[in-house]
A and B are shown apart, each in its own frame.
Chain A
Amino acid sequence: MLATHLGPSGDLAPWAVWAAVALALASFAMLLVEMRQRHRGGVFIAVTGLLAVAGLLAAILRPARVTARESVVGARVVVLADTSRSMALSQSGEARWEARDRALEALARTASNARISVLSFGDGPPRPLPLALGERASERLTTAAAHSDLGAAIRAIAASPEERPSALVVVSDGRLDDPPEGASDATLRALGEALRIPIDTVATTPAAPADASVRHVSAAGAAVAHVPLPLRVEVGCAGGLACDDVTVTARELRDDGPPTVLATGVAHVKDGKAALDLTVTLERAGARIVEVGIVAPPGDAIPENDRRLVTFHVARERVRVLHIAGRPTNDVRALRQWLKSDASVDVVAFFILRTPTDDVHASQNELSLIPFPVDELFTEHLPSFDAVVLQDFDAQPYGLEKYLTNIARYVRGGGGLVMVGGQNSFVAGGYAGTPLADVLPVDLDGSPGATSADTSGFVPEWTAEGRAAPLLSPLRDVVGDELPEMPGTNILGDVRAGAVALWSHPTRTTQSGAKMPVLAVGEPGDGRTIALGVDGAWGLEFSQLGARTAGRGHGALWDGLLGWLMRDPRFEPAQLDLVGGCTAGLPSTLRAHLLPAAANTPPQALSLEVTRIDRPQAPVRVEGTRAADASTVDLALPPLPPGGYTARLRIGGGEATRHDFACEAGGDEWADSRPDPSRLARLASVTGGTSVAAEQASSLRMPRPTVVSAERRVSPVAPPWVWTLAATILLGVHWIARRRSGLS
């Protein structure tokens, strides 16, 4: 719109205009003071004096006509809308996000003259709300944030180089991570001072739903295998729900059977909350998922937060290994010495030193032999071991057969098992067709007359997977491709589905025609197993190769094997982590950090399988490709139901790496379902803003718009000489009036 108005001056700066006006007013004031001492002709002198001063002022300023194109620009208003998971909670038939969106619409109507930016807050800096204002945002898109970090959002706006907003409105349920519950006024005020504007707030939810929940689970220190871990469980009851004693149970989710109860207790609720200390002991290292749940009283409106799924990364203080050898040999000696040389390995060893047919020529008291406590070991103590090594051990004479089911269950539950070759191992040890054979990475021929061993010497061959396997990289670093000659091998069958052969026999084949595996690894259930079908690994220590490598090859082999069995990250082909965690019902991203690939490696196929831990469910399979130079690959997971999951990633045909994770329906955001409108009210109060309920969002006052002029054109009202002439005349008239009154 083109507009014309009169300006005080066409060329003087505003300060000069104001200085001139001030001087003129001062001159006229002095004239009035002078007139108070005279009565004759005073009015005439004052009038002429006023005109003279005005004329002089006009001559100095020279007024101009200003023509410009003007527009009205609305003030920038930023609305921060809470998009955390808690906005998906419902009560009285309405979800919090619906109240939030209604308030946003009302604000949009109220601030029709303002430039309104609706941003979401939750995880970190704010982001534009994905849907246009006025449309009802879908629940899925706008209630996905795992946190309610208002502080981070405000600080990000303050640090932004964009135009500083004139007003900030926060629309939330008030259940915020930052500022936290009980934050001081100074903390709240600091948020307003970051932007130097008041903060208005709109509370979406006035009252708490009837809900009992596990609000928080915390552990005192890090989780260590076999070491009791104190847990503090905080239970909450709100919304008028009748809570008194609430039973709390901690269970470990396992993929080899139903969850294992770790601890249980009763929380005594007082003033709507209770804290209970439980002690749990996790036997297996690695990522373990513990479900902490309550038995909620009737009327609980949000059953999803009656249980929390907590992932503990269980470390090992020491690795406990049960080493059982059927007879003492150089191979047994070498393995024992390696196990004993590692201070972090706790070895419990039982070697069969005497068979029933041996004639010892001595009474029992003259022998140092002790009974082999097979019953005790494989029932009571088995879970306390991280790995079991069966070396050249025949199951039949020592009563181990009846415990093979136990050992298989132990492996599927997360234990490690190594079967090392010898004349009493594998088929010769009577393991074929037993439950233990089912968890070995290779098939065993249990048919009558099956050959158990080949006594011909041979040098094992590396398979392609063996060359690429991180678990054998320490050995390859020492010996390269070279391996010592083995004095024979146990006859092993094909590798099982999902298992990988790392060494193979140069000439022998399996029934399928494949090269016979000599060293193979597998992952049955939650555990890991290794089959080493030779008893000549000690040749890596005592041989010409051993002498050239200072005997380090044997230790390097077992470093990798035991490390892989214990899920040492150094020996995993990849490290997996969930970007931003997993929220049930929402897509998530699994990021694979991969080991550097060798030069000229072609793109590798990645195969990811996600299986449910706590109940049967069809696995989710995701395929991907690793570019030759990629060090990370993101794999998109579809929305998953709440529960515990195991992700297994396989690169090419190599061994799999595993990552356990939990998906919760609401996580921390649903753990405490109470809204907190009072926190929003305090935030508004200390920053000078206004707090209203969602229904009153339209009552918030928005800042006035700003007028912006463009295409400004200035033209003088009269030529300068006209103003000068007029001022001269008026000064002359004033001088005459003064002379007539006797003034100088």
Chain B
Amino acid sequence: MTRKPLWLAALALALAGALVLLAPRPARAFGDVGGFDPRVLLTGSQTGPAHATAPGRWSWELIQRTSAPARLRPSVVRADDPAIVDAPFLYWSGDADVAPLTGSEIAGLRRFFSLGGVLLVDDAGAGPAGEPSGFGRGARREIARVLPDGTPIAIGVDHVVFRTFYLLRRAEGRVQGPPSLDAIVRGGQAQVLFSEHDLGGALARGASGAWELPVVPGGDLQREQAIRLAVNVAMYVLCSNYKDDQVHAPFLMRRRALSGP
């Protein structure tokens, strides 16, 4: 090795260091507090989400694929915790029937919804065709107590959730389930989304880096679609109906036409 390359390398290193030092220093954490936080909602005797790694993976995928900031260590909040109103999103998952919500849990959730919060109910025990598990049925029953004036309706690809980032043709998760999601729409906004697809199951990834659960029947292709749906849900939380704006309409119609039925 000659001395000249060494000298050049040292100079380049010094220049790079100077550039780093002279450039405006961005904040490392500033702005992340307002990022997407798939907050795990716990009720009754629940101690965690159905798939413990799913919320963190959800944030990771969002950060990798989009410009949205997100919390890699999502927070956990109980329905009767005053902190339930500290952020606009909750993720409620499980595979077993849920205990009836207590009065304070109902009150907490009502406060959350009154501020415009969004809840995703993810049935981790859903059958291959989306047959609801005890959790799915129980969660609907309890949400009906929280929002007695809200009736879930099916939302398909016409809904903005299916185009907030990816153009999706149907909902999919660990299981294929029904092509649509169900939602309780209040004030023009889908405030409760019901998934019978075990979205978290498709996202869960162990410490070794391997996916925790197989995705049926579509395998990796279906998993990718599940991740895309999760990204879209996050974008729906952060951007609400941004993709319904008129300015997007001609582009999206053209792309839908191009990608075929």
Contact = CB atoms under 8 A, between A and B. Distances in A.
A367 interface: yes
A542 B164 contact: no
A340 interface: yes
Given A541-B116, A547-B111, A329 B167 contact: no
Given A542-B86, A544-B85, A451 B25 contact: yes
Given A370-B248, A488-B27, A329 B240 contact: no
Interface string B154-174: 000000000111110000000
A354 B64 CA distance: 10
B24 A452 contact: yes
B165 A368 contact: yes
B243 interface: yes
A543 interface: yes
Contact of B67 (A326, A331, A536, A550): A326
B34 interface: yes
B197 to A, nearest CB: 19
Given A326-B67, A330-B88, A361-B65, A453 B26 contact: yes
A448 B163 contact: no
B239 A336 contact: yes
Interface string B56-69: 00000000111111
Contacts of B251: 368, 370
Given A353-B235, A360-B65, A365-B258, A453 B30 contact: yes
B24 A328 contact: no
A354 B86 CA distance: 26
B34 A329 contact: yes
Contact of A449 (B22, B33, B241, B248): B22
A83 B68 CA distance: 71
A360 B68 CA distance: 12
Contacts of A367: 165-167, 255
A542 B88 contact: yes
Contacts of B29: 455, 487-488
Contacts of B85: 542-544, 546-547
A340 B240 contact: yes
B24 A428 contact: yes
Interface in B231-261: 235, 237-243, 245, 247-248, 251-252, 255, 258-259
A337 B35 CA distance: 16
A603 to B, nearest CB: 43
A576 B6 CA distance: 72
A351 B87 contact: no
A490 B29 CA distance: 12
A631 interface: no
Interface in A526-550: 535-536, 538, 541-544, 546-547, 550
Interface string B2-37: 000000000000000000011111111111111110
A546 B115 contact: yes
Given A330-B87, A544-B86, A423 B27 contact: yes
B22 A327 contact: no
Given A365-B259, A450-B24, A328 B114 contact: no
Contacts of A348: 245, 247
A358 B26 contact: no
A490 B26 CA distance: 9
Contacts of A606: none
A422 B68 CA distance: 12
B239 A351 contact: yes
A62 B88 CA distance: 113
Nearest to A337: B240
B224 A361 contact: yes
Contact of B252 (A361, A368, A424, A432): A368
A489 B31 CA distance: 9
Contacts of B252: 368, 370
Contact of A337 (B32, B33, B116, B163): B116
A424 B68 CA distance: 13
A551 B243 contact: no
A449 B27 CA distance: 13
Most chain-A Cβ atoms within 10 A of its Cβ — which of B87, B115, B240, B242?
A: B242
A94 interface: no
Contact of B239 (A328, A354, A544): A328
B115 A541 contact: yes
Contacts of B88: 330, 333-334, 538, 541-542
B35 A330 contact: yes
Interface in A354-413: 354-355, 358-362, 364-370, 392
Interface string A602-635: 0000000000000000000000000000000000
Contacts of B255: 364-365, 367-368
Contacts, number: 186
A333 B238 contact: yes
A455 B242 contact: no
A352 interface: yes
A353 B67 contact: yes
A332 interface: yes
B113 to A, nearest CB: 11
Nearest to B237: A333
A43 interface: no
Nearest to B245: A349
Given A353-B68, A542-B85, A546-B85, A535 B34 contact: yes
Given A329-B69, A543-B85, A550 B114 contact: yes
A361 to B, nearest CB: 6
Interface in A580-612: none
A448 B18 CA distance: 10
A543 B86 contact: yes
B82 interface: yes
A16 to B, nearest CB: 95
Given A330-B35, A337-B240, A368 B66 contact: no
A423 B30 contact: yes
A364 B166 CA distance: 9
Contact of B165 (A353, A392, A422, A451): A353
A422 B31 contact: yes
A430 B27 CA distance: 14
Contacts of A550: 114-115
A185 interface: no
A358 B82 contact: no
A292 interface: no
A717 to B, nearest CB: 108
B51 interface: no
Contacts of B21: 449
Given A423-B27, A454-B27, A352 B67 contact: yes
A143 to B, nearest CB: 57
A427 interface: yes
B238 A328 contact: yes
Interface string B169-204: 000000000000000000000000000000000000
B80 to A, nearest CB: 13
6 contacts: A340-B240, A347-B245, A353-B239, A358-B67, A488-B29, A535-B30
Interface of B: 21-36, 64-69, 82, 85-88, 111, 114-117, 163-167, 224, 227-228, 235, 237-243, 245, 247-248, 251-252, 255, 258-259
- Closest A-B pairs by Cβ, 7 of them: A453-B27, A487-B33, A488-B30, A328-B238, A423-B31, A448-B22, A329-B34
Given A367-B165, A432-B24, 19 more contacts: A327-B69, A330-B238, A332-B238, A332-B239, A336-B242, A340-B240, A348-B245, A353-B235, A353-B239, A354-B66, A358-B66, A361-B65, A361-B224, A366-B259, A453-B25, A488-B29, A541-B88, A544-B85, A546-B115
